Amino acid sequence: MVAAGALALWGGAAFAASPPPPSASALPLVAIKATAKGQALADAPVEVFLLGPVRGTQSPVGYGTTNAQGQAFLRFVPTPGELSQANSNNGNLSFSVIVLDKGTTPDVVSFTRHIGSVAGAGIAPAFVLAQGGTPHPWSQGSSTFASRDGEPILSASPQETCIYRYEVDGTSASYTTVGELHNARDSTATFTYGQNSDSSIEVGYSVTGDSNWSSDGNITISNSQSASVGLTRNSSQWYDAGYQLKSEFSYERLYYYNVCVGYSPYYQAEATQWDGGILVGNNVSGNDGKPNQYVTQVAAGGKFTRSSNAAWRYSGAVSPGWGVTLSAQSGFSTYVTEHWLMSGFTQDLYGNNNFPTQSQIIYAY
């Protein structure tokens, strides 16, 4: 049994739930804060699951309760297999956290944490931090819970027998929007989705598993393989036009259940890996040929390449099945790029909400 106000590793080792000191060995990988009706939700049972490609029945990697401030922390000790999973996902691990209140259906949120690429994955360190980055001692906005009715469902210390478990209930391989490409009158445009590229894909939540889906957060799916896809179009193919581009990802529907009376089962739909491929999707040419206040010009023979900052989040990026539609967003980076080469005369490039160096969509004219 876990002491009240602590979050423990699966296996029973408890840790204090107050914020740990700011040292490299003590900063938490997962931290949540639960609120109810604007107040801290104390003594609420918490369970932490690791998401990703699943085999067999999965139990929590940590569980415990919130303290008087509604806070709970988990110092995560990854196994060699989990380190390998992080390495294949650009150093990212994705989690789903359950907080139980008086209602019969748990409050759930999912998110990704970067733990870094770990050499020698056969040895599990006590704690892994983002290499070259700043760890976040608190989860950001999506990991703050708002309880429906403000009271724990059971006692402050959950029994090991009364925990949720999940298993795979369905799989799908579905093309997902990863960006869009617009081309001008006399130019060539190229989109590349390459090695180490990242996409943030929504996680769906449903009580029935086939309808009434809602969002419980986003997780990051990365490409750590030596593979890339791309598409190039010239003005004879696309003239003042733009299209969404799609690549294939694998998805799973997870079934969560609890053997104890009073806990409702539920389902999640989540992406697990990038599969490759690239297809042309919806025509999104409505704003092409209509320069706005964010217009810039590129001379004949000139080039422009975008390789940083976030791209647009597409609300209907993928429908992997089971009646759910999920959003997705890919960031411009060294590995997700758009490139234009202007031919015969000066061309316009302009953004949807900023200049082309910063905007989430780039149009051409």
Burial 99-120 (b: 16+ CB within 10 A, else e): bbbeeeebbbbbbbbbbbbbee
Amino acid at 317: A
Q: Which pLDDT score, from 0 to 100, does residue 331 have?
A: 77
- What's the confidence (pLDDT) of residue 118? 44
pLDDT in tens, the chain (365 residues): 222 232 222 222 232 333 333 333 333 345 566 666 667 777 777 787 888 765 566 878 777 777 777 777 665 566 677 777 777 777 777 888 887 766 556 778 887 777 665 433 332 222 222 222 232 222 222 334 444 444 444 333 444 567 888 999 999 999 999 999 998 888 899 999 877 788 889 999 999 999 999 888 888 888 766 678 888 988 777 777 899 999 999 999 999 998 777 788 999 999 999 999 999 999 999 888 888 999 999 999 999 998 877 788 899 999 999 999 999 988 776 668 889 998 878 889 999 999 999 999 999 88
Are residues 50 and 63 in contact, defined by beta-carbon separation less than 8 angstroms? no
CA 143, chain centre distance (Å): 12
User: Could you give the domains of the chain?
Assistant: 6-163 (2.60.40.10), 167-364 (no CATH)
HSE on the CB side for 331, CA within 13 Å?
13
* Cα dihedral across residues 238, 279, 271, 118: positive or negative: negative
pLDDT value, residue 76? 59
At 280, list the tokens. Answer: 């042309």
pLDDT (0 to 100) of residue 333? 67
Q: Is 98 helix (H, G, I), strand (E, B) or coil?
A: strand
Q: How far apart are CA 317 and CA 328, in angstroms?
A: 6
Q: What is the pLDDT of residue 32?
A: 63
Q: What does the pLDDT read at residue 66? A: 75
The kind and range of the H/E element at 349 are strand 347-351
3-state SS, 280-325, equals EEEECCCCCCCCCCCEEEECCCCEEEECCCEEEEEEEEEEEECCEE
Q: Where are the alpha helices (DSSP H) in 155-282?
A: none
253 φ/ψ sector (left φ>0, alpha ψ -120 to 50, else beta): beta
Euclidean distance between CA atoms 110 and 262, whole angstroms: 23
Which pTM was predicted? 0.79
Do 65 and 1 touch, CB atoms closer than 8 A? no
Segments of 115-260 assigned E as strands = 144-147, 165-183, 187-193, 198-206, 214-222, 229-234, 241-257
For residues 184 and 286, what is the distance between their CA atoms, to the nearest angstrom? 13
Residue position matching structure tokens 């478990």: 165
User: What is the amino acid identity at position 3?
Assistant: A
